[in-house]
Protein backbone atom coordinates (compact mmCIF):
# COMPACT_ATOMS: atom_id res chain seq x y z
CA UNK A 1 0.00 0.00 0.00
CA UNK A 2 1.36 3.35 -1.01
CA UNK A 3 2.07 6.00 1.57
CA UNK A 4 -0.71 8.56 1.83
CA UNK A 5 0.04 11.65 -0.16
CA UNK A 6 1.21 14.55 1.99
CA UNK A 7 -1.29 17.37 1.91
CA UNK A 8 0.20 20.78 1.35
CA UNK A 9 -0.55 23.51 3.80
CA UNK A 10 -1.35 26.87 2.17
CA UNK A 11 1.81 28.85 1.56
CA UNK A 12 4.04 25.79 1.51
CA UNK A 13 5.35 25.11 -2.02
CA UNK A 14 5.57 21.50 -3.22
CA UNK A 15 9.08 20.11 -3.15
CA UNK A 16 11.08 20.18 -6.37
CA UNK A 17 12.73 17.03 -7.62
CA UNK A 18 16.06 17.40 -9.36
CA UNK A 19 16.75 15.51 -12.58
CA UNK A 20 18.27 12.08 -12.05
CA UNK A 21 20.24 11.29 -15.12
CA UNK A 22 23.58 9.66 -15.40
CA UNK A 23 25.88 9.58 -18.40
CA UNK A 24 28.34 6.73 -18.63
CA UNK A 25 31.94 7.62 -19.50
CA UNK A 26 32.94 6.69 -23.07
CA UNK A 27 34.22 3.16 -23.52
CA UNK A 28 36.88 4.24 -25.99
CA UNK A 29 38.38 7.57 -25.07
CA UNK A 30 40.49 8.64 -28.04
CA UNK A 31 41.12 12.30 -28.56
CA UNK A 32 40.75 12.51 -32.38
CA UNK A 33 37.58 10.41 -32.29
CA UNK A 34 36.09 12.56 -29.57
CA UNK A 35 37.08 15.69 -31.48
CA UNK A 36 35.42 14.38 -34.64
CA UNK A 37 32.17 13.40 -32.96
CA UNK A 38 32.06 16.59 -30.92
CA UNK A 39 32.42 18.59 -34.11
CA UNK A 40 29.48 16.73 -35.65
CA UNK A 41 27.41 17.13 -32.49
CA UNK A 42 28.04 20.85 -32.47
CA UNK A 43 27.01 21.23 -36.10
CA UNK A 44 23.70 19.41 -35.77
CA UNK A 45 22.01 20.41 -32.53
CA UNK A 46 18.42 19.27 -32.87
CA UNK A 47 16.20 21.08 -30.37
CA UNK A 48 13.12 19.65 -28.69
CA UNK A 49 9.80 21.18 -29.71
CA UNK A 50 9.34 22.58 -26.25
CA UNK A 51 8.02 26.06 -25.56
CA UNK A 52 6.77 27.31 -22.22
CA UNK A 53 5.94 30.98 -22.64
CA UNK A 54 6.59 34.05 -24.75
CA UNK A 55 10.29 33.17 -25.27
CA UNK A 56 9.06 30.24 -27.35
CA UNK A 57 7.70 32.77 -29.83
CA UNK A 58 11.22 34.13 -30.16
CA UNK A 59 12.49 30.58 -30.63
CA UNK A 60 10.03 30.12 -33.50
CA UNK A 61 11.06 33.47 -34.88
CA UNK A 62 14.71 32.38 -34.74
CA UNK A 63 13.85 29.40 -36.91
CA UNK A 64 11.87 31.42 -39.47
CA UNK A 65 12.76 33.55 -42.42
CA UNK A 66 14.72 36.53 -41.09
CA UNK A 67 16.96 34.79 -38.59
CA UNK A 68 16.95 31.18 -39.71
CA UNK A 69 18.61 28.91 -37.19
CA UNK A 70 18.68 26.34 -40.04
CA UNK A 71 21.82 27.97 -41.40
CA UNK A 72 23.74 26.43 -38.51
CA UNK A 73 22.05 23.05 -38.75
CA UNK A 74 19.86 23.47 -35.66
CA UNK A 75 16.42 23.71 -37.25
CA UNK A 76 15.25 20.10 -36.97
CA UNK A 77 12.81 20.53 -34.10
CA UNK A 78 12.17 16.98 -32.96
CA UNK A 79 8.82 16.36 -31.26
CA UNK A 80 10.24 13.28 -29.55
CA UNK A 81 12.92 13.97 -26.94
CA UNK A 82 14.61 10.69 -27.77
CA UNK A 83 15.94 12.17 -30.99
CA UNK A 84 16.81 15.63 -29.68
CA UNK A 85 20.10 17.05 -28.39
CA UNK A 86 19.24 20.49 -27.15
CA UNK A 87 16.52 21.56 -24.76
CA UNK A 88 15.71 25.22 -24.95
CA UNK A 89 13.84 26.08 -21.78
CA UNK A 90 11.97 29.00 -23.27
CA UNK A 91 9.88 30.75 -20.68
CA UNK A 92 8.46 30.59 -17.21
CA UNK A 93 8.87 27.24 -15.49
CA UNK A 94 5.90 26.88 -13.17
CA UNK A 95 5.97 24.35 -10.37
CA UNK A 96 3.32 22.39 -12.18
CA UNK A 97 5.51 22.23 -15.30
CA UNK A 98 8.60 21.30 -13.27
CA UNK A 99 7.76 17.60 -13.14
CA UNK A 100 7.20 17.15 -16.91
CA UNK A 101 10.29 19.25 -17.63
CA UNK A 102 12.48 17.07 -15.44
CA UNK A 103 10.97 13.97 -16.99
CA UNK A 104 11.59 15.23 -20.51
CA UNK A 105 15.19 16.05 -19.61
CA UNK A 106 15.69 12.57 -18.17
CA UNK A 107 14.27 11.04 -21.34
CA UNK A 108 16.81 12.69 -23.63
CA UNK A 109 19.66 10.37 -24.71
CA UNK A 110 23.15 11.19 -23.63
CA UNK A 111 24.92 14.07 -25.35
CA UNK A 112 22.31 16.57 -24.23
CA UNK A 113 22.53 20.28 -23.69
CA UNK A 114 20.25 22.78 -22.02
CA UNK A 115 19.80 26.41 -22.85
CA UNK A 116 17.87 28.60 -20.40
CA UNK A 117 16.24 31.30 -22.52
CA UNK A 118 14.90 34.41 -20.92
CA UNK A 119 14.89 35.85 -17.43
CA UNK A 120 12.11 33.59 -16.17
CA UNK A 121 14.05 30.44 -16.94
CA UNK A 122 17.26 31.93 -15.55
CA UNK A 123 16.05 33.31 -12.25
CA UNK A 124 12.27 33.59 -12.18
CA UNK A 125 12.42 37.02 -13.77
CA UNK A 126 9.44 39.27 -13.02
CA UNK A 127 7.76 36.47 -11.08
CA UNK A 128 10.35 36.54 -8.29
CA UNK A 129 8.87 38.25 -5.25
CA UNK A 130 8.27 37.46 -1.61
CA UNK A 131 5.61 34.88 -1.02
CA UNK A 132 5.24 33.67 -4.58
CA UNK A 133 4.41 29.99 -4.71
CA UNK A 134 3.87 29.13 -8.37
CA UNK A 135 7.11 29.67 -10.29
CA UNK A 136 10.45 27.87 -10.12
CA UNK A 137 13.05 30.59 -9.63
CA UNK A 138 15.60 29.43 -12.16
CA UNK A 139 15.48 26.20 -14.13
CA UNK A 140 18.97 25.34 -12.88
CA UNK A 141 17.34 24.24 -9.63
CA UNK A 142 15.94 21.34 -11.62
CA UNK A 143 18.31 20.46 -14.45
CA UNK A 144 21.94 21.37 -15.23
CA UNK A 145 22.02 24.36 -17.59
CA UNK A 146 24.80 24.86 -20.12
CA UNK A 147 24.08 28.32 -21.48
CA UNK A 148 22.01 31.18 -20.11
CA UNK A 149 20.48 33.57 -22.65
CA UNK A 150 19.20 36.69 -20.89
CA UNK A 151 16.44 38.91 -22.20
CA UNK A 152 12.75 39.39 -21.62
CA UNK A 153 12.26 37.81 -24.08
CA UNK A 154 15.68 37.42 -25.73
CA UNK A 155 15.83 38.50 -29.34
CA UNK A 156 16.28 35.79 -31.99
CA UNK A 157 19.87 36.95 -32.44
CA UNK A 158 20.45 36.22 -28.77
CA UNK A 159 19.06 32.71 -29.20
CA UNK A 160 21.36 32.18 -32.17
CA UNK A 161 24.24 33.44 -30.02
CA UNK A 162 23.22 30.92 -27.36
CA UNK A 163 23.45 28.14 -29.95
CA UNK A 164 26.95 29.39 -30.88
CA UNK A 165 27.93 29.33 -27.21
CA UNK A 166 26.80 25.72 -26.94
CA UNK A 167 28.83 24.90 -30.06
CA UNK A 168 31.80 26.63 -28.40
CA UNK A 169 31.18 24.61 -25.24
CA UNK A 170 31.23 21.35 -27.18
CA UNK A 171 34.17 21.96 -29.48
CA UNK A 172 36.21 24.50 -27.58
CA UNK A 173 36.26 27.23 -30.21
CA UNK A 174 33.92 29.75 -31.70
CA UNK A 175 32.99 28.86 -35.27
CA UNK A 176 31.28 31.95 -36.62
CA UNK A 177 32.61 35.52 -36.83
CA UNK A 178 31.57 38.00 -34.16
CA UNK A 179 29.16 40.81 -35.06
CA UNK A 180 30.90 44.07 -35.83
CA UNK A 181 29.85 45.77 -32.58
CA UNK A 182 31.06 42.88 -30.46
CA UNK A 183 34.36 42.49 -32.30
CA UNK A 184 35.47 46.09 -31.86
Please report, as ranges, the residues that interact with another protein according to CB under 8 A: 23, 36-37, 39-41, 43-44, 49, 64-66, 68, 70-73, 75-76, 78-80, 82-83, 85, 109-111, 175-176
To 5 degrees, how large is the angle CA 66–CA 68–CA 71? 135
Element (H, E) at 119: helix 118-123
**Rounded Cα–Cα distance for residues 27 and 36 (Å):** 16
Beta carbon of residue 75, minimum distance to another protein (angstroms, whole number): 7
Considering the complex, state which of residue 9 and residue 22 has its C-beta at the smaller distance from another protein: 22
Beta carbon of residue 70, minimum distance to another protein (angstroms, whole number): 5
DSSP per-residue string spanning 128-165: --TT--SB-S-GGGTS--SEEE-SSSPPHHHHHHHHHH
Contact 113, 45 (CB under 8 A): yes
DSSP E strand boundaries for 39-101: 86-90
Beta carbon of residue 103, minimum distance to another protein (angstroms, whole number): 12
Residue 75: left (phi > 0), alpha (psi -120 to 50), or beta? alpha
Considering the complex, state which of residue 40 and residue 99 has its C-beta at the smaller distance from another protein: 40
Beta carbon of residue 104, minimum distance to another protein (angstroms, whole number): 11
Considering the complex, state which of residue 6 and residue 31 has its C-beta at the smaller distance from another protein: 31
Beta carbon of residue 64, minimum distance to another protein (angstroms, whole number): 7
Considering the complex, state which of residue 61 and residue 123 has its C-beta at the smaller distance from another protein: 61
Amino acid sequence: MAAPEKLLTPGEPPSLAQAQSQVDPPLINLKPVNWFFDLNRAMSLWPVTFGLACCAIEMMSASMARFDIARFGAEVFRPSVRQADLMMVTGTVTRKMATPLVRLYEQMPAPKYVMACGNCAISGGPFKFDGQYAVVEGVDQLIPVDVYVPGCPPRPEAILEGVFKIQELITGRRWWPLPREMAS
